[in-house]
Structure 1
């Protein structure tokens, strides 16, 4: 049976925000793993850490059984530790090593393991022999067999190294070492979870692994396997109350099992999260996972081989989920930064992390992409397109003083990204600048979901609303995935309705309850039902806009603030700490920082703080479509409460459409307990099914224009400079449409002599 990748993506929150190719570093956890960790932390906060540990004792014990099942071992053979490196150090430090003892290490050894061995050579006089590789890149078994003819204290090998896709012949290594009577330490850090690891079949005596990689567990978790035979030989040099018993004034005994290597203090929430991840891996089946990852990585290799300038860097013995490569003319670190700006996350591995591998192969660094069950062919296409995009752009990819573009765009929120894409697809050479890295939470375009609706207070909005719906259809088609899900919406207030719109109808509380059983309105409320309302996948939309812009040649520079701009004849010059960009036109889509770039607008614009909370439910279906759609309730004496139902793995989202002044030049502060408490109380009142805890919080900044209208158009005195910002807290739904308006010819002109216009022409 094949894996249901779509379902696995939906159950993985991180897939909404980026194309994640870093399972070999820290894979994306599932919603279940996340909820397990958070649930236990909340329990600790309510009843205390010791009491919570006691309440979760049976589940904690089960983690050992799950890990043992994964490794083909017994629960007593497993210790739970903080990382693979901690596991390695505790096992090796327990070895009775003497000066002159030989340790045979594969060239695949991880950097921290190699450093520990080198320190043992310095401090304890052991001899470290790095085994040669055969022509496939794997450990040379003939050389190992010869090395084992002399006494040795240990053979250590990494099943899969950190620096390539190599898969070592670990079973053959184990057989040779067993024949010579030498123990084997297997580093399964990069293999557990993606390849079957059976310690008995491999013949290893010690194995170390981490939870954060292919197991998809939390960071700060690891596994140590020590066979019964090795435990009889090894005694922990640093006993702890967790693994030892103080039996007399001058005596103590160590635990018989592998827990002798643990310490009393541990993160119980993380261990429970590891248990959830182990359960998911075992239910899916590691063999099935491995088949999926190997096949997808194979398609990624083939796709990368077709990208001009890309050279694969894996040895012939490579396989599994990891792919390494270099891009001619770009350092691996620069390649990673460029891809991250496109919403594609992977890492570079320097030779300093694998001198016995990369250093000996003459590679100063490589780019490492690693896939998992939540990756699909769309991710592969996005990665390769992102590699091609910047290289085909006519504007230089490095910002240099004097570079000239057709259009410079300041800001990379939804309006800036939409404008950049729309301009580039029309053939413009576009340079985009943003003061923060991608994925930041300082503006107002972050978060998972947004609302879209046709219900508005005045018919003057109808044309723009219609353009917005068409623009989302266009963007969805270009992105190759639906970005809007229709759920219907109810918008309520006491007395007469405040909204109207094409296809909308006025309903009383009884009819509202029939439409959305999850929303509870009082008898004094009247609602407008909008059957076309729905949910925008905001995170996916942002990612798609970044990718589409890059595919059309947009040159993006993140963490590069525009400090000022000046008119340059018919063009502009944009000044940044990294140089000046010259362009024929400028689009300012800077959100809260618009007033700083256009001082004459500063007094007209207000920046306010808005908070949202996501609230769990004992019955998630009660607060998900069709039982609940998008909604708002004008609460007397409080303000406008708005909400989005449970959707795509997220809990119910609620917020208030007002907030205190916010300084955009100060870092965003976390949502306070008081802010969350107010929203929780309102949700309990109007959405009774949202009966759980606050599971997530989001803070953002609205930039408010007079009368809550939009500020979009060209500055009259410099018509080559356009503003696409200040959308008063309801502009995300119009993002692609506003991008098209700005890219139009000619764009609207702002009349700044009086009030800011209601909407663009």
Structure 2
């Protein structure tokens, strides 16, 4: 039976980043992936994820600044850029552009607050209904290429990548775990990092975690989200499209220039958390809800005049949500749980890998709001 110092479960953005960090520090690492890295059944597939600094909480804005250093390092090592600059616009009565601007100001990040009329003059392809926050440092992440690059860095530093290795259980104690696959293979590990995304829920009871720790785990909601690619109304136009988040009462939409998986022909548009809730990632069926499709088409007709309201491509993906939309990065005995989620984890991937590696090796702290003990104390205070 193979034996490793650290075994990382899941080769999406979070797991790949963690394996890269651990291997680059000289640790003996295996990366176990249930199919292949960044596969279509997970949350890290495709070529279009939003990179942005705008958050209502300045805490997250600061984390994006830290994460950008990791993206720059990955680009330097790989000789390839993974973030295409586009800028971003945020608007809508619930989005509160002024609050976002305050968070950006606290970190010295370039931005502008525009009236709806001023914004319409710049981006006539979008119909704005409130004041607008513009920050030019935003862009689009190629998630699939990023995973491939981080896995390549991990392997280059000696990590072992095991594809088609679906973990069924983790048994044992710190320093001596046995991971068993669904087809009865096994590896040993002194430490385990679980970055299973939408599969975390179904794995929890199969992990060798203290019962009290499991009792403190927040509810994890898995959704099968839907995204649609709409063609540009004028394919010959040189108009530059920013990414956008539009949030009003009862509705949140987001969009970004589609990547290579949709032939760069239009905008990827979706309703945030508009998909059905699943028992676990294993229950996804990849089917588009026609009611959701109609809702998004109606939105495009009303608010995105620069697009033809007929999707030329559509896809599903997984969102794994916590009640607060905060991440889980925590450790019990020799097992580290790593669940960046709620649809906004991609931009933090290099930093999440650093946090997880620091926590698993004991050399550095993790923000307290990602730790389960801190969550429990906060919940008790409420």
Task: Tell whether the structures are fold-level matches, with TM greater than 0.5.
Answer: yes
Deviates more, 1:674-683 or 1:405-414: 674-683
Residue 605 of structure 1 is matched in structure 2 by 220
Unmatched tracts of structure 2, length 5 or more: 206-213
Residue 166 of structure 2 is matched in structure 1 by 561
Residue 640 of structure 1 is matched in structure 2 by 252
Q: CA deviation at 1:407?
A: 0.7
2:349 corresponds to 1:735: yes
Contact 1:433 1:557 in 2 (8 A): yes
Contact 1:414 1:542 in 2 (8 A): yes
Contact 1:408 1:432 in 2 (8 A): yes
Deviates more, 1:548-557 or 1:745-754: 745-754
2:327 corresponds to 1:710: yes
Once residues 477 and 738 of structure 1 are traced to their aligned partners in structure 2, the CA distance between those partners, rounded to angstroms, is 19
2:285 corresponds to 1:668: yes
* 1:121-520 map, 5 Å: 402-494=1-93, 496-497=96-97, 498-500=99-101, 501=104, 502-520=109-127
Contact 1:435 1:561 in 2 (8 A): yes
Residue 265 of structure 1 is matched in structure 2 by none
Q: CA deviation at 1:411?
A: 0.6
Contact 2:178 2:186 in 1 (8 A): yes
TM-score normalised to the size of structure 1? 0.44
Q: CA deviation at 1:556?
A: 1.5
Unmatched tracts of structure 1, length 5 or more: 1-401
Once residues 23 and 335 of structure 2 are traced to their aligned partners in structure 1, the CA distance between those partners, rounded to angstroms, is 17
2:138 corresponds to 1:533: yes
Q: CA deviation at 1:757?
A: 9.4
Once residues 192 and 199 of structure 2 are traced to their aligned partners in structure 1, the CA distance between those partners, rounded to angstroms, is 15
Assess, with a 3 A threshold, how the Cα gap between structure 1 residues 672 and 462 changes in structure 2: closer, same or farther: closer
Once residues 741 and 591 of structure 1 are traced to their aligned partners in structure 2, the CA distance between those partners, rounded to angstroms, is 16
Cα deviation per residue 1:430-467 (whole Å; 9 max; x = unaligned)? Answer: 11112223453222111221111111111122321111
Kindly name which structure, 1 or 2, has the bigger radius of gyration based on alpha carbons.
1
Once residues 517 and 552 of structure 1 are traced to their aligned partners in structure 2, the CA distance between those partners, rounded to angstroms, is 48
Assess, with a 3 A threshold, how the Cα gap between structure 1 residues 573 and 747 changes in structure 2: closer, same or farther: farther
Say which SS state the counterpart of residue 712 (structure 1) adopts: strand
Cα deviation per residue 1:619-665 (whole Å; 9 max; x = unaligned)? Answer: 1355x762x2000111333x110000255532210111113312322
Assess, with a 3 A threshold, how the Cα gap between structure 1 residues 694 and 519 changes in structure 2: closer, same or farther: same
Q: CA deviation at 1:544?
A: 1.6
Assess, with a 3 A threshold, how the Cα gap between structure 1 residues 588 and 486 changes in structure 2: closer, same or farther: same
Assess, with a 3 A threshold, how the Cα gap between structure 1 residues 412 and 608 changes in structure 2: closer, same or farther: same
Q: CA deviation at 1:513?
A: 1.8
Structure ranking higher on relative contact order (CA contacts 8 Å, 6+ apart) = 2
Contact 1:490 1:630 in 2 (8 A): yes
* 1:57-96 map, 5 Å: none
Assess, with a 3 A threshold, how the Cα gap between structure 1 residues 425 and 451 changes in structure 2: closer, same or farther: same
Q: CA deviation at 1:739?
A: 0.7
Match of 2:318 among 701, 708, 720: 701
Q: Which has the higher strand share?
A: 2
Assess, with a 3 A threshold, how the Cα gap between structure 1 residues 439 and 458 changes in structure 2: closer, same or farther: closer
Q: CA deviation at 1:412?
A: 1.0
How many residues are matched? Answer: 349
TM-score normalised to the size of structure 2? 0.84
2:326 corresponds to 1:725: no
Once residues 580 and 511 of structure 1 are traced to their aligned partners in structure 2, the CA distance between those partners, rounded to angstroms, is 61
Residue 200 of structure 2 is matched in structure 1 by 594
Say which SS state the counterpart of residue 529 (structure 1) adopts: strand
Q: CA deviation at 1:673?
A: 3.1
Contact 1:751 1:757 in 2 (8 A): no
Assess, with a 3 A threshold, how the Cα gap between structure 1 residues 734 and 694 changes in structure 2: closer, same or farther: same
Once residues 621 and 425 of structure 1 are traced to their aligned partners in structure 2, the CA distance between those partners, rounded to angstroms, is 45
